[in-house]
Amino acid sequence: MIRMIQLVLAFSLLPFLVHAEASPGTYKLVIAGFDWGPAVQKVIISPEEKLENTAASDFEVFVHRSTVDGQIPSTQQSGKRDVIYTYPSDENGNRQAQGAHLTLVLEVNPTQPLGSPIQYMRVGERGGNFWITYELTILHSSSGQIWNEESDRILPLVDEFDLSEKFTYQNKMTLSYAAFRPETQTSQMPLLIWLHGGGEGGEDPTIPLLGNRAANYASDEIQAYFGGAHVLVPQAPTFWMQSEDGSYTRGDREDIYHEALFALIEEYVGANPEIDSDRIYVGGCSNGGYMSLKLILEHPEYFAAGYISALAYHNEFVSDEQIKRIKNVPIWFVHSADDGTTKPDETVVPIYQRLKEAGAKNVIFSYYDHVTDITGFYGGSDFHYPGHWSWIYSHANTARTDFDGSLVKLDGKPVTIMEWLAAQKR
């Protein structure tokens, strides 16, 4: 199958290779985060010859995805990408009337694995999301120009995070993390902490930022609700729910990371005195949802609120005493009824109900039948993502209803999850 794809690709390129006079050129990738994960959304090229009246139909883009670390299904290794639009730009893809560069906008969608430079696969003893080799060949039909070597890549929002720092805890373990600091600093800034899912562990914080669109907490839209906020995205070397023997805990045994993680948070807050200690928010999805609740259970006095998606902490391992300890911590849960990975009847539904029965007055639960296409581009409510992906509603800031389906309101005004979170104070 792979050989067949290679032969088809070779024959497709042949006319261009015969007529091309210029040497192959370089291209720059623009990799953006979407609800379903990352995708190569744009390609920036610098033509040797000026291209007049370029149209999307003038280009063909071929992709080859490979890795030496794991396996990629043969149907997801090679193929064509569709160009939907072109425009003159500068070297970073910013539109210009007479740009020296040309930006090609590529079609992306949630059922197009060829668009992603990241692959979920098993590497060693762990399944997760990993960067792969992503190679393009770009052809311009009339001029015969070819671009086939990547020169650089742009990761919108991700590039605004500091990825250089690491935290070592008692010489036992080292945690990588990404940190976003707003350009305009004020004396009292909140801190948003996001904890990734089970597939985003490792030593490269770009993975948790892009694996499920967590970089969006640095977007202008979300930052505006908080008047500017620090965003801290720690990364587990493996997975947050790892117990001492390497297996998963669901709350029945201690994990190996929560002490180190809390120490990292304390150090970060201490190193950034402009952070308001009364407005520290912790959230996460799946594995990160487990760890968010774990931190709140251990330190209910420290966090102003929690925002938790696809909670993986099992209700049976949360005691009545723990429920009483956290009943006054504002928490917004997000989950889908068809989540077969973190089953709601074993996790979030009973925990939410127990909190309400204990007298919790500021606990909210957005409970969806399915995780759907919130953009409307791919079928809207008729398109179903895997039920586990309820974090989509948090990252995109579209969660706005409580368990009974009613709109969540503050001072009589309907609010979204981020608007609500920004109003919480310890």
In this model, does residue 20 exceed pLDDT 50? no
Integer Cα distance of 177 and 144 in angstroms: 44
* pLDDT mean over 319-326: 98
Residue 2: predicted pLDDT: 45
Handedness of CA 360, 366, 369, 370 (dihedral sign): negative
Domain boundaries, the chain: 2-154, 158-422
pTM attached to this predicted model: 0.93
Class of domain 2-154: mainly beta
Residue 293: predicted pLDDT: 98
Per-residue buried b or exposed e for 174-201, using 16+ beta carbons within 10 Å of the residue's own CB: ebbbbbbbbeeeeeebbbbbbbbbbbbb
pLDDT tier at 22, thresholds 50, 70, 90: low
In this model, does residue 18 exceed pLDDT 50? no
Integer Cα distance of 30 and 65 in angstroms: 16
pLDDT tier at 21, thresholds 50, 70, 90: low
Please tell me whether residue 95 adopts helix, strand or coil conformation.
strand
Integer Cα distance of 138 and 43 in angstroms: 9
158-422 adopts what CATH topology?
Answer: Rossmann fold (3.40.50)
- Residues above pLDDT 70, as percent of the chain: 95
Residues 388-400: tens digit of each pLDDT: 999 999 999 999 9
Residue 360: predicted pLDDT: 98
Residues 286-306: tens digit of each pLDDT: 999 999 999 999 999 999 999
Residues 199-226: tens digit of each pLDDT: 999 999 999 999 989 999 999 999 999 9
